[in-house]
């Protein structure tokens, strides 16, 4: 059994050293958890490089794992991963495939692989016992995610900020909900102020009171409801524009 942070994996009794990542691989390691974390359902959590022992002769860590937050009631430990993501660069496809087969046999439900060279995303097919590349416009729908994960967002860095924001909105993130509420309130306030200005204009027009350009601009610039209400009240009996403004 390997200790955490030891820098090695064991596959069928053979020890493999985990090499430091090249730039593209390291970037993907940074981006992938950030994107996936925004999509997680509340009952699930993500981990990075978490060691798993699928058999007595193997002990290795998927790049990103998704698993239940709840502890296993039988063992008191964690549950086996529901989903794993592997990022490949210098690591051979055969090595990743071998590890994936063992993790699937251990109980992992789904496995995905991201190739940093061609920016492709593939999913492991149990039926065909091989990797199947996903279309750029595909989405990953799973109980682990509150909303579907766009495949392209996992490899297109330019999309990250937008898809994360969209995911947080779809999950009704409380901070974003408060921002939206403030926006709706401001919209309602703007509508209310606009209604007061329109009422003022109608009253003055009905009484034949003309406004100078400066007075019209003053009304348009006013964003205080109480002031506009006072002007509307005065406009009901105003004989001239100065009666409205108290001048």
Residues 123 and 189 in one domain: no
- Indicate whether 12 and 100 sit together in one domain: yes
Give strand pairing partners of 150: 139
Looking at the fold, whether 96 and 160 belong to one and the same domain comes out as yes
Span 192-210, pLDDT tens digits = 778 788 878 887 887 788 8
| Three-state SS letters, 158-206 | HHHHHHHHHHHHHCCCHHHHHHHHHHHHHHHHHHHHHHHHHHHHHHHHH
In terms of residue numbers, what domain contains 157? 8-171
Residue 1 lies in a domain: no
Here the contacts of 165-169 (C-beta below 8 Å, separation 24 or greater) are 167/38, 167/39, 168/38
DSSP H stretches of helix in the chain: 23-39, 93-106, 160-170, 174-206, 213-221, 225-235, 241-245
CATH of the domain at 110: 3.90.1570.10
Residue 2, domain member (yes or no):
no
Domain check: are 188 and 148 in the same one?
A: no
- Among residues 171, 189, 214, the one where a domain terminates is 171
Q: Does pTM top 0.85 for this prediction?
A: no
Among 171, 200, 232, the domain-final residue is 171
Residue 241 within a domain = yes
Same domain, 15 and 70: yes
Q: Are residues 134 and 181 in the same domain?
A: no
For each of the chain's 247 residues, which pLDDT tens digit applies?
545 545 545 555 554 445 555 566 666 667 788 888 888 898 999 998 887 776 666 667 888 999 999 998 888 889 989 999 998 887 788 888 988 998 998 899 999 999 988 889 999 999 999 999 999 889 999 999 988 888 988 886 645 566 766 676 666 666 666 665 665 556 666 667 787 888 788 878 877 888 889 988 998 898 888 888 888 888 777 788 888 887 5
């Amino acid at each position: 059994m390997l200790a955490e942070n030891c820098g090695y994996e064991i596959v069928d009794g053979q020890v493999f050293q985990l090499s430091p990542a090249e730039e593209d691989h390291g970037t993907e390691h940074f981006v992938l958890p950030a994107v996936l974390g925004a999509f997680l359902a509340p009952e699930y959590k993500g981990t990075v490089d978490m060691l798993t022992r699928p058999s007595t002769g193997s002990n290795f860590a998927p790049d990103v794992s998704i698993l239940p937050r709840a502890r296993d009631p039988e063992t008191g430990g964690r549950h086996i991963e529901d989903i794993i993501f592997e990022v490949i660069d210098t690591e051979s496809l055969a090595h990743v495939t071998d590890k994936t087969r063992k993790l699937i046999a251990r109980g992992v439900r789904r496995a995905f692989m991201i190739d940093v060279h061609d920016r492709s995303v593939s999913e492991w097919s149990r039926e065909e016992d091989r990797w199947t590349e996903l279309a750029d416009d595909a989405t990953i729908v799973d109980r682990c995610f509150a909303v579907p994960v766009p495949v392209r967002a996992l490899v297109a860095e330019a999309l990250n900020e937008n898809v994360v924001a969209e995911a947080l909105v779809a999950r009704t993130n409380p901070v974003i909900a408060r921002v939206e509420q403030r926006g709706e309130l401001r919209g309602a306030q703007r509508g209310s102020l606009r209604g007061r200005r329109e009422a003022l204009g109608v009253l003055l027009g009905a009484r034949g009171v003309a406004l100078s350009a400066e007075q019209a601009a003053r009304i348009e610039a006013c964003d205080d409801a109480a002031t506009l209400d006072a002007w509307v009240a005065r406009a009901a009996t105003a004989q001239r524009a100065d009666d409205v403004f108290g001048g």
